[in-house]
Amino acid sequence: MLSSKTIENIQPPPITEVKSWLAGRIFPADKPLIDLCQAVPSYSPPQGLIDHLKNSMDDPSSFKYSPDEGLSEVRDAVSHWYQRHYHSAPTADQLCLTIGASQAFWLTMTTLCQPHDEVIVQLPAYFDHPMGLQALGIKVVFAPFNPDNSGLPDLNTIQSLITPKTKAILLVTPSNPTGAVISPRLVNELFELAQSNNISLVLDETYNAFIGTPPHHLFRRKDWPNNFIQIASFGKTFALTGLRCGALIADQQFIEQALKVQDSMVVCQPRTAQIALEFGCQNLDNWIAQNSIKMQQRHDHFKSIFIEAKTDFELTASGSFFAWIRHPWDHLSGRQAAKQLLEEENIICLPGEAFGPGLENYLRLSFGNIELEQIEGAIKRLQHI
């Protein structure tokens, strides 16, 4: 088959690769598989949302296209959700509903950049970001990983990487894979750095509902639309990752340009996702708050047991959903280490190098999809190593 060299040079999708290691394996009842691989909530959306979706199926309009940017009433509901959760909000016109944060990312980068432009990406990076940028012919300029700083960005380092070709600083907060959260103060400084260089600060805030406070206060600034773009996901927030529910939040004129790509790419977010999103934004604040606490408890529990357990693995960073650990085998890559954990301890997790070059000594554990009671068992297995 004739595929492009650009695409051939991109790493395979890491979750698909790691899950392929499970093919043909059977796990004994006394040592079942512990899946620390994918960042999905372990719970389902609440019954109210499910019933609402079922009822919507009787309405023929549920099966039709919506405007490219999404239904105005849904964008209004999202805007109000932001007002409650960030205490300041984009307007409905500054919102385009997308097929997950994934498509919001593509809309952002196709609208912002031309081939050979540069985007600064903090290591460890959410793997789909470098993969997508490479596919678009955009140069990925990695900001180095600093384990002593939980992998958080350093303002001076980011500044030193800006060139005349830089179009954006792309960051994830709370981070996938480390769980670390960039402070609102640093976010503001990064915004001002972007502003003074006439580039964009692009924040992927997929996990914004799981830290209990707004990740930043940029929406309070009147000038935010000039230099800030947010990539939003509602998949984790409302536990509907499979409905593919996200948004691009940006300056209205940027959205108008992005709609050219939206139209040719997907036309619109599916109606079902919009129906669920509107219901979620209007009815599920308490449910989100409870799940945010649940996820933080999982993290706190994980962290305290992990530290007490004194394994040969080192906890470099952690937060809601994720832990970023250093494995003890200097001679093994992250891939080999992850395979060893599967062979010996029936645990699957992601290799560090999936998150960028030079990260072979690390593994990402996601405890978002295992129950509180399973956490101790998972760490006990790491003690056997």
Using only C-alpha atoms, the chain has a radius of gyration, in whole angstroms, of: 21
Q: Does 360 sit near ligand PLP (CB under 6 A)?
A: no
Region binding ligand PLP by CB under 6 A among candidate stretches 6-14, 95-103, 324-332, 355-363: 95-103
* 361 near ligand PLP, judged by CB under 6 A: no
Task: Kindly tell me which of 78 and 172 has the beta carbon lying closer to ligand PLP.
Answer: 172
Residue from 81, 86, 126, 302 in contact with ligand PLP (CB under 6 A): 126
Give the phi and the psi of residue 36 in degrees, each rounded to 5. Answer: -110, 30
Dist CA 205 CA 300 (whole Å): 21
According to the binding rule CB under 6 A, does residue 319 interact with ligand PLP? no
Task: Specify whether the CB–CB gap between 319 and 364 falls below 8 A.
Answer: no
204 binding ligand PLP? (CB under 6 A): yes
**Cβ-based nearer residue to ligand PLP, 236 or 294:** 236
100 binds ligand PLP (CB under 6 A): yes
Judged by CB, which is closer to ligand PLP: 166, or 175?
175
From residue 20 to residue 59, what is the string marking binding to ligand PLP with x (rule CB under 6 A)? -------------------x--------------------
Q: In the complex, what is the shortest distance from the CB of residue 175 to ligand PLP, in angstroms, rounded to a whole number?
A: 8
Q: Could you give the 3-state DSSP secondary structure of residue 16?
A: helix
> Is residue 269 close enough to count as binding ligand PLP by CB under 6 A?
no
Rounded distance between C-alpha atoms, residue 222 and residue 230, angstroms: 15
Binding to ligand PLP (CB under 6 A): which residues in 231-260? 233, 235, 241, 246
The yes or no reply on residue 230 touching ligand PLP (CB under 6 A) is: no
* Spatial separation of the C-alpha atoms in residues 364 and 276, rounded to whole Å: 30
CA 301, CA 294: separation in Å to the nearest integer? 10
Q: By CB under 6 A, tell whether 283 contacts ligand PLP.
A: no
Q: Does 365 bind ligand PLP (CB under 6 A)?
A: no
CB of residue 97 to ligand PLP, shortest distance in Å: 11
The residue whose Cβ lies closest to ligand PLP is: 100
Q: Measured from the CB of residue 204, what is the shortest distance to ligand PLP in angstroms?
A: 5
- Hey, which residues does 366 pair with through a beta bridge? 322
DSSP string, 270-291: -HHHHHHHHHHHHH-HHHHHHH
- Cis peptide upstream of residue 174 (ω within 30 degrees of 0): yes
Q: How many CB atoms lie within 10 A of CB 23?
A: 6
Residue 248 dihedral angles phi and psi, to the nearest 5°: -100, 130
Report yes or no: 119 and 109 within 8 Å, Cβ to Cβ. Answer: yes
- Total interface residues for ligand PLP by CB under 6 A: 13
**Distance of closest approach, residue 43 Cβ to ligand PLP, in angstroms:** 16
Residue 270 touches ligand PLP, criterion: CB under 6 A: no
Task: For residues 203 and 319, give the distance between their C-alpha atoms in angstroms, rounded to a whole number.
Answer: 17
Distance separating alpha carbons of residues 171 and 111, to the nearest angstrom: 18
Residues that bind ligand PLP (CB under 6 A): 39, 100-102, 126, 172, 176, 204, 206, 233, 235, 241, 246
